[in-house]
Chain A
Amino acid sequence: MMAISSPKGSGVGSPKAPTLPLPSPKAPPGYPDLYGKRREISRLHMLEREISFLEEELKSSEGFQPASRCCKEIDDFVMAKADPLLPTKKKKSRSSRFWKWLCCTPCSTLCSCLCCCCCCEPRCCDGCSKHLSLPSCSCCQHLRQCSCCKCVTPKSNCCRGSNSGCCKGSCGCQNCCIPPSCKCLSCCSCKCSCSCTCPTCPKLPQSCCCIKSCWSPCCCC
């Protein structure tokens, strides 16, 4: 509280108001700092434990091999192991096809379209236009029966029916076409947009992506 003083020039002899002392908080009580002590003991124990770990490690480091030995081990291991992602020269054989399932080789020159799956027989795709190019084809489930625009396996999830069943671009046809009530529209756009007209469900907007299959009566995104 500020001392109240009379204004200047108020006149000689005017009485001064009493000045109160400045507040001074009391000193904290002299309780023992138990929390601080326990915390310090805990920290000390952790330090002493770290010291013993380091002493152990220092002792064991006397037997460590030099880095060059580790590097040799790495070198030997790497050079001995075949790697399908390395561009090394290897004998091409049927048995090594297991790594080829994703890479592409052109079909026979007589074919008008390109097949994305090396696992496929170099068979011409029926009904495919020349506009189809990598990586437009979806490999059907059954190996060796890969065709671009129609699925051989009866239970496959490729789009059926009209030309819209031909999947262009990078979109795979995602379970969009389930008869009898669904039509696969633009499976060929980047987002698989299909609309299933269900009796009880409202129509879905075009941009709705059918993440789930249309097995259930309503298509839900």
Chain B
Amino acid sequence: MSVAELKERHLAATETLNNLKQRLNQTRRSLLDTDVAGYARSQGKSAVTFGPTDLVCCRTLQGHTGKVYSLDWTSEKTRIVSASQDGRLIVWNALTRQKIHAIKLPCAWVMTCAFSPTGQSIACGGLDNACSIFNLNSTTDKDGNLPVTRMLSGHKGYISSCQYVPDEDTHLITGSGDQTCVLWDITTGLKTSVFGGEFQSGHTADVLSVSINGSNSRIFASGSCDATARLWDTRVASRAVRAFHGHEGDVNSVKFFPDGNRFGTGSEDGTCRLFDIRTGHQLQVYSQKHSDDKTHPVTSIAFSISGRLLFAGYTNGDCYVWDTLLAKVVLNLGSLQDSHEDRVTCLGLAADGSALCTGSWDTNLKIWAFGGHRRVI
């Protein structure tokens, strides 16, 4: 077959592809009979209301000397690890604000960190294109630094996101600027599976975020600069289960909804969205202009333990608390006393849902919890 014939077939295939996409979109539109807010209103639901002291900043964790880029809680809820542009990971006791560990990193340009399920290890990665594993029980070297236990090398781009597979200290998923996600075996330091990439169907731009389904750890979602989120099954690395379109900019953050059948996204386009993993439906858009009448990119999101609240950090320092059901902003942590003074870059909820931790370019982490009273009915 000549190159000219190939190009003709390429054109015909592109047209077929576009037609199929149109038909699929039409089918989806016909099934979108309502969104989450429309359904909730039809059921007579009213939005959550917070009193002035209901959600307060209870702790400020100070110690980093550079922008905070990532944080993660342990499963026992008392410790937090944070990663900063100052080239350190700090493990905090969230109750006492004490620094339990301060780990100097081989590469200062860290972008992500994660606690292992047992809390014994920490993973981090960044512009060094590798994911470093630290065992917190290791003996420090002569300089007092915790050594790298394992280096997961193989990505051809920066590590934007990492998360341990739930209940497995030995497996980890990373998202990378090389457009792929990788499932790693930490024991051997080798890749178990590569999701996407040059010869497989996957993201067509940098992967910025990954989130593993808490109800089914074989399923994870990824968000990318190609403006899509994709769902993956770790047993089938050759292609994504589904691609989710709708955002008009980079998908900076993805997080599974607590029920495991939906996930949320936060994007450069200033909106958060909720998608259903089984049908691919875009169930809700969360969008509101800020006090300066502008939209600001979403940097990070987290759901409360029931899913009723969606926390979203923005580049202008706002941290909106959305009522997920009514799609309304019910609180802005950025306007409260003791709020961050700069961009909120990361959010994380304690395992029991009792507290939210936020990290910021202002070098601090803050812990927010319910400060109100609950009365007997």
Contacts and interface: CB of A to CB of B under 8 A. Distances in A.
Interface string B81-124: 00000001010001111110010000000000000000000000
Contacts of B35: 67, 71
Contact of B258 (A50, A81, A90): A81
Contacts, number: 238
Interface stretch (B184-192, B275-283, B285-293): B275-283
B24 A54 contact: yes
Interface of B is mostly: loop
Looking at B56, B98, B355, the one whose CB has the most chain A CB atoms below 10 A away is B98
A103 B355 CA distance: 9
A50 B306 contact: no
B325 A67 contact: no
Interface residues of A, number: 76
Q: How large is the interface on B (under 10, 10 to 19, 20 to 34, 35 or more residues)?
A: 35 or more
B31 A102 contact: no
10 contacts: A61-B24, A61-B27, A67-B283, A70-B261, A72-B39, A75-B36, A84-B354, A172-B98, A174-B98, A190-B62
A78 B324 contact: yes
B239 interface: yes
Nearest to A89: B377
Interface in B246-264: 257-259, 261-262
B241 to A, nearest CB: 10
Interface stretch (A15-23, A35-43, A125-133): A35-43
Interface in A49-67: 49-51, 53-55, 57-58, 61-62, 64-67
Contacts of B9: 44
B293 to A, nearest CB: 29
A68 B33 contact: yes
Given A44-B9, A57-B242, A103-B58, A51 B353 contact: no
A191 B50 CA distance: 32
Given A47-B10, A103-B58, A87 B96 contact: no
A99 B370 contact: yes
Interface stretch (A3-11, A178-186, A197-205, A209-217): A209-217
B54 A87 contact: yes
Nearest to B367: A102
B6 A44 contact: yes
B283 to A, nearest CB: 6
